[in-house]
Structure 1
Amino acid sequence: MTAKPWLRKLMLTAHVSSAVGSAGAVAVFLVLVVAALSAGNQDFVRAFTIAMDVAADYVIVPLVSAALLLGIIQSLITPWGLIRHYWIVFKLVLTAVTLAVLLPQTANINRMAQAAQRLMDSADIFTVQLSLALHAGGGLAVLIGIVALSVYKPRGLTPYGWRVAGEGRGR
């Protein structure tokens, strides 16, 4: 099923906005983690930690989820298809893996924010923050790679894509 051009453009705009927005949100999260790691003042550490919790729960998770869902919908209403091109399959897998890694990390972020509110030992918070910094840095690299796949669209059809192209329906 191919949607009308106006709907495809609307969906593409929403998909790209959520994907690029999630990369920006993870970049801000990484800055908050690094600021918390380098802050000497416990009040700043608590403030940054609580801000990380809010950013993860209300910005990052929704944007990555939206990018995944909108990407799947976009692939189904355009001639590109979901599994015809390797670059789309790679984006799908990378986004799904990013979300799978992100969701358990939100539990750590929530625990850390609760601990910061209870004035937990700063050594425990530091260990979790260091882990979050590594995850945020890796997540940012993956999200930028996903956006790059959208722009460069490396050549190569999947076996399914070749079959469809042989039937005269592919691109």
Structure 2
Amino acid sequence: MTVGPRVRRLLLALHLSCSVGWIGAVCAYLALAFAVPATGDPEVVRAAWIGMELVGWYAIVPLALGSLATGVLMGAVTKWGLLRHYWVLISLVGTVILTAVLIMHMPDVTVEADRARTLEEEGLLAMGSDIAHAVIGLVMLIGILVLNLYKPRGLTKYGWRKEQAARSRAAPTRTSTSA
């Protein structure tokens, strides 16, 4: 099933908003994560961890889920399909993995933010940061973005079979005539 151009454009706008917003929210998270090792001020460390928790739960997670949901919907109702082209399949798998890792990692961020709320100055200055997860996630998100911009050719086996079936249905049938 495919949808008309107005609905497709609306879905595309929603998907792009969620996806680009996700990248922006990860950049905000990274700014806070980089502040932790860069400062000697315990209150900055406390604020950074609390901020990372808030940005994570209230911006990154909803945008990741929105990107995943709108991406699946776009694949289901456009000519690209979910499983027909390798670039769509790779984007889907990457988004599912990133979203799953994010949701599994956020409780750890909450634990660290709770620690930051109660620690004294020395404990705060000894806290680590959360740069690695965010950098890896950002690199993967940008990779998926580039993949979706260039849309390299290549059908999956499923996509190839679907295309062959469509071609055979569209091909005119020949009938032999007797002379």
TM over 0.5: yes
Which residues of 2 match residues 33-72 of structure 1 at below 5 A? 33-72=33-72
Q: What is the match of residue 145 of structure 2?
A: 147
SS in 1 for 2:155: coil
1:1-20 correspondence runs (5 A): 1-20=1-20
CA shift for structure 1 position 125: 2.4
Under a length normalisation based on structure 2, what TM-score does the superposition of the two structures give?
A: 0.89
Aligned residues: 165
Distance 1:112 1:35 in 2: 15
Residue 60 of structure 2 aligns to which amino acid in structure 1?
I
Give TM-score scaled by structure 1 length: 0.93
2:127 alignment partner in structure 1: 125
1:167 paired residue number: 165
Q: Structure 1 stretches of 5 or more lacking a match?
A: none
Measure the CA separation in 2 of the matches of 1:76 and 1:151. Answer: 19
Q: CA deviation at 1:122?
A: 3.0
Q: Which residue of structure 1 lines up, in the alignment, with residue 87 of structure 2?
A: 87
Unaligned runs of at least 5 residues, structure 2: 168-179
Q: Pick from 133, 136, 141: which aligns with 2:134?
A: 136
Work out the percentage of aligned pairs sharing the same amino acid: 41
Report the Cα distance in structure 1 between the residues aligned to 2:16 and 2:141, rounded to whole angstroms: 12
Separation (CA, whole Å) in 1 of partners of 2:111 and 2:126: 11
> CA offset at residue 138 of structure 1?
0.2
Larger Rg: 2
Cα distance in 1 between the residues matched to 2:75 and 2:104: 27
**Cα contact 2:75–2:82 (8 A) shared by 1:** yes
- Mapped partners of 1:66, 1:146: distance in 2: 15
- Superimposed CA distance per residue, residues 67-122 of structure 1 (whole angstroms, 9 cap, x where no aligned partner): 01110001011111000000000000000110111112101110111111111623
SS in 2 for 1:167: helix
Q: Distance in 1 between matches of 2:24 and 2:55?
A: 11
SS in 1 for 2:166: coil
Deviation at 1:123, TM superposition (A): 6.2
TM-aligned CA deviation for residue 10 of structure 1: 0.3
Q: 1:47 to 1:123 in 2, by over 3 A?
A: closer
Counterpart CA distance in 2 for 1:18 and 1:147 is 12
- Aligned Cα RMSD in Å? 1.2
- Write the distance in 1 (CA, Å) between the matches of 2:58 and 2:19: 15
Equivalent residue, structure 1, for 2:171:
none
Query: Is 1:107 aligned with 2:103?
Result: no
